[in-house]
């Protein structure tokens, strides 16, 4: 993801780290609330009252607190709230105390639960955060604010596959803008599900650009039919996408986005 850092300042991302805990705790199991084949997508407002933030910080491991301290104050606050919200969402699904959860990270920094088969992904854009959880298989979620920027056409022309860039260029106005962000979010969701970030070029992940249901058209070194993707709008000026490896099985249905109850145990 470092190779695209100059673009990622447009779209904030949560980088979640793990914490240590006693090895005597039982392994994590699939979500206890709802079926394992469901996908839970929670929405969080990262702008929370100081009193809540002060209490939520106690859920985090020292390493998480240290990571949250990096950057300017607004960024630090959003990171802290995002990490606490992730723990709350996973604790809710697993019927576990949020502070007791233990994490590990993959080779490219993707977080995962230790000894668990529950998959999750997070994404944030400004104060809006999404947390996706499932027992189905690896998944990724991305959310972006739909903001007009002069460099978007250049990004599409130089970073997207030629067929994607040409399809976007044929559109006008708001349709063109939303097509760009939809294309971007689907790509990001897939790459996050793989746990490889932007370590491969974006044009190696070719997605549909028309206004129908999104689809992965072509992949470099992977089978597009093994993945289900969905695009959605969690807010008036937000575009989101989710990708989950289903192995060719039917997707569980339309994604429903719900506000996460930020209850501190």
pLDDT at position 90 is 97
Question: Which residues contact residue 54 at a Cβ distance below 8 angstroms, ignoring those fewer than 6 apart?
Answer: none
pLDDT band at 179 (very low <50, low <70, confident <90, very high): very high
Q: Where in the chain is the domain with CATH 3.90.470.20?
A: 2-19+33-141, 142-254
Task: Please tell me the least confidently modeled range out of 14-18, 45-49, 144-148.
Answer: 14-18
> Mean pLDDT over residues 27-41, rounded?
55
Cα(first)–Cα(last) distance of the chain, in Å? 34
Task: Please tell me the least confidently modeled range out of 17-26, 57-66, 107-116, 201-210.
Answer: 17-26
Task: Please tell me the least confidently modeled range out of 90-94, 184-188, 252-256.
Answer: 252-256
Q: Which of 241, 162, 174 is nearest to 206 (CA)?
A: 162
Question: pLDDT tens digits for 112-151?
Answer: 999 777 999 999 999 999 999 999 999 999 999 999 999 9
pLDDT at position 36 is 53
Radius of gyration over alpha carbons of the chain, in Å?
18
Q: Where are the beta strands (DSSP E) in the chain?
A: 39-45, 103-105, 111-113, 119-125, 128-134, 139-145, 205-207, 216-219, 227-235, 238-245, 257-259
pLDDT at position 91 is 95
- What is the CATH code for 2-19+33-141? 3.90.470.20
| Owner of token pair 């002060």 | 54
Residue 50: count of CB within 10 angstroms of its CB? 8
C-alpha span between 227 and 224 (Å, rounded): 6
Question: Which residues contact residue 94 at a Cβ distance below 8 angstroms, ignoring those fewer than 6 apart?
Answer: 28, 29, 31, 32, 101, 116, 118
Task: Please tell me the least confidently modeled range out of 3-12, 177-186, 239-248.
Answer: 3-12
Is domain 142-254 in CATH 3.40.190.10, yes or no?
no
Question: pLDDT tens digits for 86-105?
Answer: 999 999 999 999 999 999 98
C-alpha span between 149 and 67 (Å, rounded): 30
> Mean pLDDT over residues 54-77, rounded?
90
pLDDT at position 55 is 96
Average pLDDT, the chain: 85
């Amino acid at each position: 993801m470092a190779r695209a850092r100059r673009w990622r300042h447009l779209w904030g991302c949560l980088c979640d780290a793990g914490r240590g805990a006693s090895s005597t705790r039982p392994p994590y199991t699939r979500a206890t609330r709802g079926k394992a084949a469901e996908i839970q997508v929670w929405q969080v407002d990262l702008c929370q009252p100081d009193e809540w933030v002060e209490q939520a910080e106690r859920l985090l491991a020292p390493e998480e607190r240290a990571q949250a301290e990096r950057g300017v104050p607004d960024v630090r606050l959003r990171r802290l709230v995002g990490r606490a919200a992730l723990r709350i969402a996973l604790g809710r699904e697993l019927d576990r105390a949020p502070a007791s959860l233990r994490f590990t990270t993959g080779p490219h920094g993707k977080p995962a639960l230790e000894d668990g088969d529950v998959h999750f992904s997070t994404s944030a854009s400004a104060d809006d955060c999404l947390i996706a959880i499932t027992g189905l298989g690896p998944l990724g979620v991305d959310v972006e604010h739909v903001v007009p920027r002069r460099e978007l056409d250049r990004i599409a022309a130089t970073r997207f596959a030629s067929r994607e860039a040409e399809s976007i260029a044929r559109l006008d106005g708001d349709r063109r803008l939303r097509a760009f962000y939809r294309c971007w979010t689907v790509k990001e969701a897939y790459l996050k599900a793989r746990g490889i970030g932007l370590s491969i070029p974006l044009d190696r992940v070719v997605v549909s650009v028309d206004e129908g249901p999104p689809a992965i058209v072509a992949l470099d070194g992977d089978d597009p039919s093994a993945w289900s993707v969905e695009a959605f709008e969690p807010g008036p000026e937000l575009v989101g996408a989710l990708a989950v490896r289903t192995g060719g099985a039917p997707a569980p249905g339309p994604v429903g986005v719900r506000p996460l109850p930020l209850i501190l145990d």
